[in-house]
Structure 1
Amino acid sequence: MSDIKDHLAAYHPPTISIPPHPQWPELTPEDERAMKARITTLLKEQNGVLVAHYYTDARLQDLAEETGGCVADSLEMARFGSEHPADTLVVAGVRFMGETAKILSNEKRVLMPDLNATCSLDENCPIEDFARFCDSYPEHTVVVYANTSAEVKARSDWVVTSGIALPIVKHLAAQGNKIIWAPDRYLGSYVQRETGADMVLWPGSCIVHEEFRSIALQRLRRLHPEAAILVHPESPEAVIAQADVVGSTTALIKAAATLPNDTLIVATDKRIFNKMRQLAPGKRLLEAPTEGEGATCLSCARCPWMGMNSLQSLLAVLETGANEIQVSAELAARARIPIQRMLDFARQLTAH
């Protein structure tokens, strides 16, 4: 066992290269309208539906809703796609989201605007290393975040989102389960603090959320003492400690709409502001700071891979049929089991 603990202590997630954004020409308003009309036509012709994450470009979010698709978090995107009668799902997000959609709808064609759009959490948890680590703790229940590959999901007992991680881990801990958590160490630490569960944490992180700086956040709040601070739990502990609301993307959007504060400081990808402005018009939205001691500004509150989704790349994939997500039926069947456990738990939770 000590060898495995030493392995984890010595493990350094692979270096992640931040991709350059595809250089698409700027669109005139006329070009944008024409492109949206063409995309809408192609979606109809291919019996397709567009699902977009809250962190994608506002134009993609708006188009998804205008064409009968949805804007949501990663799991709701996949669930919406599985329940929709469309034959083709077009997933505007990052690769693990396309894979999750394919896992839940293996018979459907799943396309993505850019297959190079990945996720630092996914990249930080390669299946070979993670499987070896899990094998060393056979008595532990393996709980993985949705931001993981299909292979990692298939190796897990439970898949969770940030919105349901707390009640699931609390439930498992109450049953006496010890837990392996992967891949986000900040979210895992938050869940551990809140539930008191016995957890071993994989050392991954999100390059967007780990950039938020607590001292700079304190300074910003002093400038806006009336503001509420909304923080995604993938953020560092010192940032979470200052939050008025800690929660998933969906929870933060709901908080923006329901809190009485006219000013909100938000610690997550700033593209979430598009949905927040729709549901909380007139409120002042401020980005939580990513500058200060230790800052590298790898993201500046914007996921670079989410930024690879654009109207141009969306149109291209619909015209060519390229960028299809492939997950074998066998792998999808294994990965679906822990996802289904979460979905069943969520239904029971709602029923009570």
Structure 2
Amino acid sequence: MTSRPIAARPVADVPPVIEESLSDAERADLKARIWQRMREQDAILLAHYYTAADLQNLAVETGGCVADSLEMARFGHAASAKTLLVAGVRFMGETAKILNPEKRVLMPDLRAECSLDLSCPADDFAAFCDQHPDRTVVVYANTSAAVKARADWMVTSSIAVPVVRHLAERGEKILWAPDRYLGDYVQRTTGADMVLWQGSCVVHERFKADGIRELKREHPEAAVLVHPESPAEVIALADVVGSTTQLINAVRDLANPTCIVATDNGIFHRMHEVAPGKLLLEAPTGGRGATCVSCAHCPWMAMNGLRNLLDVLESGTNEIHVDPAIGARAVRSISRMLDFAAGRQVDVRGQSGD
């Protein structure tokens, strides 16, 4: 069953996507200066799959990682570096701090938010949970530290179905937040009794089923790859429904020479690396008459660049802080998922990072 929760707060003032424009000489100079500051400060760069190619390349070149938010935090925990540079959105920096409280966590721009996180304010969410005290609270990784602290479980998109199925088999009823599309997908897949918080991702909810059908008619050989944060009618067209890592692996492993990809187009950089001979097409986000055929890029992810990465290293600003009491509660919901994954040998990598 699904009931209507307290209305999620709408996401206002979504910033425009502004990509960093650099000459080859500027890029080389910035990367050299950043690498020097990183060595001086014992820092490592953790970049999300949806950030700019320059940041992803720099992370690899300097011994960091390019991954989803949870794997970024886990990589930072395993590394000896004292400073973690998180290129992504704010909840990713918080997750890194929760799992690495002893380390300094810096971000290029603290204004880089996530529409899912913004749509689920901690106080409103706590009130919603109080209305359903008999339900097990399961939240997606794309939430604040305070929301994770209120939850019983945190999940990534790659493990959401196994966790919810496990809880349902134990007779538990679920309160899910914040993404209503991912929640609906999990509910339909598992048959669990769930109430859904009505949040959404500003990128994934824009994909259009009609546009994908039209693109598929033009490319009948193409496989359709969809992230489960998308609307149900888009998911219904998919050959593969999966997390970021699962979609990257699908592009590599499928025999199809062409793939239509319904997720943030920042992922294309990694997809081209693992499947250089394949044609990758962005799933349409605009309907007929729209000014944008596909606007599939998170505007907050686009706030990360080489220039502000160097700025934060030189100024020491933009440090992420998490209240220790909140962090101690939040880590329990994360650890519960990690323990479950270890016991079931389930791969938790590849959550969205929106």
Is 1:184 matched with 2:179? Answer: yes
Q: CA deviation at 1:13?
A: 2.1
**Alpha-carbon separation, structure 1, partners of 2:165 and 2:292:** 34
Q: 5 Å matches for 1:1-352?
A: 8=5, 11-20=7-16, 26-292=21-287, 300-350=295-345
* Contact 2:282/2:294 (<8 A) preserved: no
Distance 1:219 1:15 in 2: 30
Secondary structure of 1:327's counterpart equals coil
Deviations 1:159-201 (A, max 9, x none): 0000110111111111011000000000000000000010000
CA distance in 2, matches of 1:252, 1:153: 26
Instruction: Verify the 8 A CA contact 2:204 2:229 in the aligned structure 1.
Output: yes
Tell me, yes or no, if the aligned pair for 1:118 and 1:305 is still in contact at 8 Å.
yes
CA distance in 2, matches of 1:13, 1:346: 32
Q: Is the 8 A contact 1:55 1:271 kept in 2?
A: yes
Note the C-alpha offset of 1:14: 2.6
Question: Residues 23 and 173 (structure 1 numbering): CA distance in 2 closer, same or farther, change over 3 Å?
Answer: closer
CA distance in 2 between counterparts of 1:18 and 1:293 reads 23
The verdict on how the C-alpha distance between 1:185 and 1:326 changes in structure 2, with shifts beyond 3 A counting, is same
1:19 shift after superposition: 2.0
The verdict on how the C-alpha distance between 1:277 and 1:176 changes in structure 2, with shifts beyond 3 A counting, is same
Q: Which amino acid aligns with 1:145?
A: Y
Counterparts in 2 of 1:20 and 1:244: CA distance versus 1, 3 Å = closer
Please report how far the alpha carbon of residue 83 of structure 1 lies from its aligned counterpart in structure 2 after TM superposition.
1.3
> Can you give the 5+ residue segments of structure 2 that lack an aligned partner in the other structure?
348-354
- SS of 2:338's partner is helix
Contact 1:49–1:67 at 8 Å: present in 2 too? yes
Q: Distance in 1 between matches of 2:242 and 2:206?
A: 17
Higher relative contact order structure (alpha carbons within 8 Å, sequence separation ≥ 6): 2
Is the 2:45–2:59 Cα contact (8 Å) retained in structure 1?
yes
Note the C-alpha offset of 1:350.
Answer: 1.3
Deviation at 1:17, TM superposition (A): 1.0
For the 8 Å contact 1:211–1:295, the answer to whether it is kept is: no
- Contact 1:143/1:158 (<8 A) preserved: yes
In 2, distance between residues paired with 1:14 and 1:320?
34
In structure 2, C-alpha distance between the alignment counterparts of 1:44 and 1:340, rounded to whole Å: 31
Q: 1:42 to 1:122 in 2, by over 3 A?
A: same
Distance of 1:176 and 1:294 partners within structure 2: 48
Q: Is the 8 A contact 2:97 2:103 kept in 1?
A: yes
Gaps of 5+ in 1: none
2:285·2:293 contact (CA, 8 Å) conserved in 1? no
Q: Given the superposition, is the C-alpha separation of residues 298 and 162 from structure 1 closer, same or farther in structure 2, using an over 3 Å criterion? A: farther
Residue 293 of structure 1 deviates from its aligned partner by 6.0
State the distance in 1 between where 2:253 and 2:18 align: 37
Q: Aligned partners of 1:237 and 1:49: how far apart in 2? A: 38
Residue type at the aligned position of 1:90: L
Counterpart Cα distance in 1 of 2:203 and 2:120: 17
Aligned-pair CA distance for 1:44: 1.0
CA 83–144 in structure 1, closer or farther in 2 if over 3 Å, else same: same
Q: CA deviation at 1:300?
A: 0.6
Name the SS of the counterpart of 2:86 in structure 1. strand
SS at match of 1:118: coil
More off after superposition, 14-23 vs 137-146: 14-23
> Does the CA-based 8 Å contact 1:208-1:298 persist in structure 2?
no
Aligned match of 2:350: none
| Alpha-carbon distance between aligned partners in 2 of 1:271 and 1:52, rounded to the nearest angstrom | 11
Segment drifting more, 287-296 vs 68-77? 287-296
Report the 3-state secondary structure (helix = DSSP H, G, I; strand = E; otherwise coil) of the residue aligned with 1:188. helix
Contact kept? 1:16, 1:120, Cα under 8 Å: no
* Alpha-carbon shift at residue 69 of structure 1 (Å): 0.4
1:294 CA displacement:
10
Instruction: Find the counterpart in structure 1 of residue 351 from structure 2.
Output: none
